[in-house]
Structures are given as C-alpha cells and as structure tokens.
Amino acid sequence: MTGRFSKASLLKWRQARGGSSTGITRCGKTTFHWGDRTYVMGIVNVSPDSFSGDGLDSVDAAVAQAQRFVTEGADILDVGGESTRPDSSPISVDEELRRVIPVLERLNGKAKVPLSVDTYKLDVARKALDAGAEMINDIWGLKQEPKLAALAAERGVPIILMSNQRDKPQRNIVPAVIEDLKRSIDLALDSGVPWDNIIVDPGIGFGKTLEQNLELVRCLDELKVLGRPVLLGTSRKSMIGLILDLPPEQRLEGTAASTAIGIARGADIIRVHDVKEMMRICRMSDAIIRGMGK
C-alpha cells in the first residue's frame, strides 16, 4: 500500500485523469521529451539570505549568472526572490517583485531557454509571467495558494508541485509524499491545468528529517506511479552538510552523488546551483542508465 492508495488504485486514478504516460511538456518554444534525458534547471537566487550562499543582490549579477548557466548547458532558469531556509522570514509581495521582475525582464527573449519563477504567491507569479516567465515553481504544491493552478491553466504554462511537510511533519515519508502530490495534482487538474503541464517534486529538505530525505532519494522511483516527470533538488542541501560536515559551498561532491543516484532512480529534472558540473553528471549518468552517448 502507498498511504491510503495501492499502486493499482493509483494507476487507475492516473488513467482516469487522462495520464497513461509521462509524454512531453511544452514550455514556451521548448519541448521536454520525458525519459529521453535528464534536464537541468539552473537556480538563480535573487535573495541575499539564500541558504546555499549564492544569493545575488543585483540585477546585473543575476543576469550574468543566468547567461553563464545557459552557456554551461542549463535547460531551464529558475528565478526566485524569497529564501526557503527553514528559519527564514517571509518577505512582502512588493519586495519579492522588486527582486525578481527586473531579472526576468532582462532575460526575457535573451536567455534562449525557458524561465521559471520560484514563488507561491499569486501576484508574484502573475507579474512574473507578464515579465517573461513560462513556468511556475510552487514549493507548497498549491497548499498556500490554490489559485496558482487557475493562473497556470489560464496562461497555459507548466507548474511544478512540491510536497512540503513544514506545516505537518510525517512519519512514513514516501507514502505521505505520494499522497500529498496526488492531492496537488488533483487540485491542478480540477483548475484546468493539462496533465502534460504538471511536474512533481518530493521536496528534499522541506519538513523532512535527514533519514527521510535519504529515503526519498533512494525510493524516488516510487513517485513514478503518479505518471508525471519528477524534479529532484538536492543541490547543496543540509542533508549533504550533515553527512559530510561541510558548508554549502563545499557540497559539490555530495550533490553529485545524490544527483547521480536520483537519475538512476528516475529523476527527469535536477535543480542545481552548479550547472557546469551537474551537466557532466547528467551526461555520464544518462549514458549509463538510458544508453545515451553511444
């Protein structure tokens, strides 16, 4: 059993919802063919208190980093203005807009890859889409703001739904994440988001213990029962620091190990701070796992 749902019942739910296979997702002019290779999302933090130590406090610095990520092979750029550290304080809508909109406007039409906005706030997401974003990355999986789904449906953009346990810690983490993501998918579909425009994220580090984070990476393939592409974000996170006893800027090897294992377990997208190095991890992992690079 998976939470309240057996694998058979989840498969039946998926088919009833119109999702017989993962298929493709169109994002602006880009088409993602899930299963062909692992895609890389480069993190552009315009928050001065980012947990990873890479927060940028100027538009020029953020744009320069984004452009470098594209040259290094990033497939998506994820622009976020609010820190997601567990002890961070929320910022106002106005402050978040002040941070992210100028960056999106500068990159719009120049980045050559889709732009994503990392936000759970409706007004920020709407104005970010107006400024050039073509994807919404919601760390609360519609639990904080269900109307994000209607916005994604109206604009025809993909939405990433994360399973976040900061509001309600769970004991049996893998079934809890699957059930949580199923609820988020249902909310999105009921609001008119097409099946093909939904991406799921187990939410490594968001309300989980160290052991639970490791279990989620190890059991990532169990999320495939949901029928949607899986995004994995372990980059520089505290689980790596706790195991290796290293600060964020020295967690490259730990990120590489968790990324390679995640790809072996079915990750379709990896969200990373170190694009050049993780692109190499993806290419090598894909060559072994998917038979690429022949």
**What average pLDDT does range 155-180 have in this prediction?**
96
In a domain, 292, yes or no: no
One-letter amino acid for residue 140 of the chain:
W
**What average pLDDT does range 63-71 have in this prediction?**
97
Mean pLDDT (the chain) is: 93
237 counts as catalytic: yes
User: For position 291, what pLDDT does the model report?
Assistant: 87
CA distance 136 to 129: 8
Q: If 0-12 CB within 10 Å is exposed, 13-18 middle and 19+ buried, where does residue 218 land? A: middle
In a domain, 2, yes or no: no
The fraction of the chain above a pLDDT of 70, given in percent, is: 95
* Residue 151 scores a pLDDT above 80: yes
In a domain, 80, yes or no: yes
In a domain, 136, yes or no: yes
pTM for the whole thing?
Answer: 0.94
* Residue 94 scores a pLDDT above 50: yes
User: For position 2, what pLDDT does the model report?
Assistant: 47
Which of the residues 271, 280, 290, 294 is marked catalytic? 271
- The two three-digit tokens of residue 285, written as one number: 């992992």
- Residue 116's DSSP bridge partners are 78, 135
Domain count, the chain: 1
265 counts as catalytic: no
With b meaning 16 or more CB within 10 Å and e meaning fewer, what string describes 25-62?
Answer: bbbeeeebebeebbbbbbbbbbbeebbbebbbeebeeb
User: For position 294, what pLDDT does the model report?
Assistant: 46
Which of the residues 14, 106, 143, 237 is marked catalytic? 237
In a domain, 92, yes or no: yes
Among 241, 127, 222, residue whose Cα is nearest residue 177 = 222
User: For position 70, what pLDDT does the model report?
Assistant: 98
Between 131 and 13, name the one with better pLDDT.
131
User: For position 8, what pLDDT does the model report?
Assistant: 85
pLDDT bin (cut points 50, 70, 90) of residue 48 is confident
Between 289 and 294, name the one with better pLDDT.
289
Residue 240 sits in which domain range?
7-285
Least confident of 17-21, 93-97, 174-178, 188-192: 17-21
The pLDDT tens digits of the residues spanning 122-148 come to 999 999 999 999 999 999 999 999 999
In a domain, 1, yes or no: no
pLDDT bin (cut points 50, 70, 90) of residue 5 is low
Q: Tell me, what CATH number does 165's domain have?
A: 3.20.20.20
pLDDT bin (cut points 50, 70, 90) of residue 49 is low
* Residue 52 scores a pLDDT above 60: no
In a domain, 149, yes or no: yes
In a domain, 291, yes or no: no
pLDDT bin (cut points 50, 70, 90) of residue 293 is low
